[in-house]
A and B are shown apart, each in its own frame.
Chain A
């Protein structure tokens, strides 16, 4: 089957005015302008299959939104090809819009003054959803989340969580091939986050909808995405399974121990004995970052036990958050 999204060597450049400093600088800007070209997305390529949930990650200003805007047809790429469901998004914006759903975290696309059910009916008309499909979708929604109390509430009166939930339901309503979710859980409480993750997961499974998810919340990524794509400064850093990412960096584990005597002093002593691993100490624990390619944690522990009185210990896996942070900071070697 042909991939649902194909991006080949896509680059997007913006011309931005270089402003001079100070009042005099502003006056000079009025008469002579210096433009510089900023490359927001730099020859990015990826292929996404129908039904995948892809986590699209990167620090603020990495070029995520720009890529999404190109895929939704709002922006035209400077160079390269994008095909979304066989369409060139920028050239067939309205045709592309029929095939996709979009949720931008804090910006509701629903009619502010209308009860949710009226927004749904309008969307049914706009997307020309057959009545049968529309009713089936509502029944599915009701079985996944209890939407009955939300249906007759004006969007304006909803809490942020309810509104986000409604926006997500609205984006899936016309059974699009792809849904773009831009930070869907931003600012939500823990239980609402869980509810929304479950919902996205269920809709993806039921409808085989491809989901492109941008987020800064690693909880979203761990709960939903098998595959992640990381970009920074417009360049693609990583595109692979999340498990692969962990094994790539995750040969590191942190061994934490508590021993008799002053922790700071003991930590320095341990560092002397284990020069290949960084050892740090805080008020409670001595932390040893063990690279398991070099030595097994259990061997390190055994070695320490022979010379120290270990009162307590724990082992920490490196989390995806740590991994991503490492990539943002150091890149992929």
Chain B
């Protein structure tokens, strides 16, 4: 048996992905309707943002375009969790019904195998919309466009994604211990809504919670400070890539620990 490295896993992933897309596209009506739905979800999200900011030209010193940047940033950073880790939402049913056991019999990483099964194509629309929003607000704010800025943007987008993925993994993994863990996962996922706002608008208590306990401030706020407020970047912003990696690793360990404790229902 050959060693199973990154290339092996990437190969498997793309094979599953290609097949999955092929089978999804063979249902044309389904495909078209979900594409339309995806466009409307994004438009309505933006419209409610726009209505809100027509009445408040600035929030706590953050201008409309800076808020828009934050909004776009959170959209893009939520794309990986939406596209690649969507199967976490079904974990509860698999565990409850005992069907999760089928993932335990393959000679590959359990976490990878489970997540590889679903690729949610709807996230791609969100990605396009988010990139558009970032580009637009970038120009309006008058930020310089240098390679360094681009690298910063990409690194901090990845950081933000990792934290979101970590939150969702941890939320989903609770189902290995709790019967009805939907609320935990839902709660974890709802926190993302707060990620769109500058953390300074919250009271100190929530600021503390969102920074140290449920680190959603790292999803958009701390990373985007690096780009929007280069002269007043707190230490926490520079720490956020590390925080992202650590949280992702912890959530992965928790997920795997839960999965190995899992024993399945009788059959």
Q: Which of B107, B117, B262, B267 contacts A126 (CB 8 A)?
A: B107
Interface flag for B108 (CB, 8 Å): yes
Q: Is A125 in contact with B15, judged by CB distance below 8 angstroms?
A: yes
By beta carbon, the residue of chain A nearest B16 is: A122
Supply 6 further A-B pairs (C-beta < 8 A) apart from A74-B262, A104-B267, A182-B267.
A73-B104, A107-B101, A111-B19, A113-B23, A118-B19, A128-B2
Interface hits, B248-267 → A, CB 8 Å: 262-264, 266-267
- State in angstroms the CA–CA spacing of A108 and B264 once bound together: 15
Interface flag for B105 (CB, 8 Å): yes
Interface flag for B11 (CB, 8 Å): yes
Q: Which of A100, A102, A113, A122 contacts B12 (CB 8 A)?
A: A122
Interface string of A269-289 (1 = CB under 8 A from B): 000000000000000000000
Interface flag for B54 (CB, 8 Å): no
Interface flag for A320 (CB, 8 Å): no
Interface string of B1-17 (1 = CB under 8 A from A): 11000000001100110
Q: Which of A97, A111, A154, A183 contacts B117 (CB 8 A)?
A: A111
- State in angstroms the CA–CA spacing of A37 and B150 once bound together: 59
Q: Is B102 in contact with A109, judged by CB distance below 8 angstroms?
A: yes
How many positions in chain B have a CB within 8 Å of any CB in the partner chain? Answer: 26
How many inter-chain contacts with C-beta < 8 Å in the A-B complex? 75
If A65-B267, A111-B117, A182-B267 touch, whether A126 touches B19 (CB-CB below 8 Å) is: no
**Which chain A residues border B120 with CB–CB below 8 Å?**
none
Interface flag for B229 (CB, 8 Å): no
Smallest CB separation, A211 vs chain B (Å) = 16
Q: Is B19 in contact with A104, judged by CB distance below 8 angstroms?
A: no
Smallest CB separation, A250 vs chain B (Å) = 31
- State in angstroms the CA–CA spacing of A119 and B109 once bound together: 18
Interface hits, A53-102 → B, CB 8 Å: 61, 65-66, 69, 72-75, 93-95, 97-98, 100, 102
**Which chain B residues border A118 with CB–CB below 8 Å?**
19
**Which chain A residues border B108 with CB–CB below 8 Å?**
94, 126
- State in angstroms the CA–CA spacing of A107 and B105 once bound together: 13
* Residue of A61, A113, A121 contacting most chain B CB atoms (<10 Å): A113
Q: Is B102 in contact with A122, judged by CB distance below 8 angstroms?
A: no
**Which chain A residues border B20 with CB–CB below 8 Å?**
113-114
If A69-B263, A74-B263 touch, whether A97 touches B19 (CB-CB below 8 Å) is: no
If A69-B263, A118-B19, A182-B267 touch, whether A104 touches B107 (CB-CB below 8 Å) is: no
Interface string of B89-104 (1 = CB under 8 A from A): 0000000001101101
Smallest CB separation, A12 vs chain B (Å) = 9
**Which chain A residues border B267 with CB–CB below 8 Å?**
65, 104-105, 107, 182-183
Q: Is B104 in contact with A121, judged by CB distance below 8 angstroms?
A: no
Interface flag for A127 (CB, 8 Å): yes
Interface string of A107-149 (1 = CB under 8 A from B): 1110101100010011001111000000000000000000000
By beta carbon, the residue of chain B nearest A123 is: B106
Q: Is B266 in contact with A121, judged by CB distance below 8 angstroms?
A: no
Q: Is A111 in contact with B16, judged by CB distance below 8 angstroms?
A: yes
Majority SS of interface residues in chain A?
A: mixed
By beta carbon, the residue of chain B nearest A110 is: B102
Q: Which of B1, B19, B23 contacts A128 (CB 8 A)?
A: B1
Residues of B participating in the A interface, judged by any CB pair closer than 8 Å: 1-2, 11-12, 15-16, 19-20, 23-24, 98-99, 101-102, 104-109, 117, 262-264, 266-267
If A61-B266, A118-B19 touch, whether A97 touches B12 (CB-CB below 8 Å) is: no
Q: Is B19 in contact with A102, judged by CB distance below 8 angstroms?
A: no
- State in angstroms the CA–CA spacing of A199 and B108 once bound together: 28
By beta carbon, the residue of chain A nearest B259 is: A74
Top 9 nearest A-B pairs (CB, nearest first) are: A97-B107, A98-B107, A113-B23, A109-B102, A102-B105, A94-B107, A74-B104, A118-B19, A114-B19
Smallest CB separation, A62 vs chain B (Å) = 10
Q: Is A72 in contact with B19, judged by CB distance below 8 angstroms?
A: no
- State in angstroms the CA–CA spacing of A75 and B101 once bound together: 11
Q: Which of A108, A109, A122 contacts B19 (CB 8 A)?
A: A122
Smallest CB separation, B166 vs chain A (Å) = 24
Smallest CB separation, B145 vs chain A (Å) = 41
- State in angstroms the CA–CA spacing of A69 and B98 once bound together: 12
Smallest CB separation, B191 vs chain A (Å) = 27
Q: Is B102 in contact with A107, judged by CB distance below 8 angstroms?
A: yes
**Which chain B residues border A75 with CB–CB below 8 Å?**
263
**Which chain B residues border A182 with CB–CB below 8 Å?**
267
Smallest CB separation, B222 vs chain A (Å) = 38
By beta carbon, the residue of chain B nearest A61 is: B266
By beta carbon, the residue of chain B nearest A106 is: B267
**Which chain B residues border A72 with CB–CB below 8 Å?**
104-105
Interface string of A2-28 (1 = CB under 8 A from B): 000000000000100000000000000
- State in angstroms the CA–CA spacing of A127 and B267 once bound together: 26
If A114-B23, A125-B11 touch, whether A109 touches B16 (CB-CB below 8 Å) is: no
By beta carbon, the residue of chain B nearest A156 is: B23
**Which chain B residues border A102 with CB–CB below 8 Å?**
105
- State in angstroms the CA–CA spacing of A125 and B11 once bound together: 8
Q: Which of A61, A95, A105, A109 contacts B105 (CB 8 A)?
A: A109
Smallest CB separation, A181 vs chain B (Å) = 12
- State in angstroms the CA–CA spacing of A72 and B263 once bound together: 12
Q: Is B23 in contact with A154, judged by CB distance below 8 angstroms?
A: yes
- State in angstroms the CA–CA spacing of A75 and B264 once bound together: 9
Q: Is B104 in contact with A93, judged by CB distance below 8 angstroms?
A: yes
Smallest CB separation, A27 vs chain B (Å) = 17
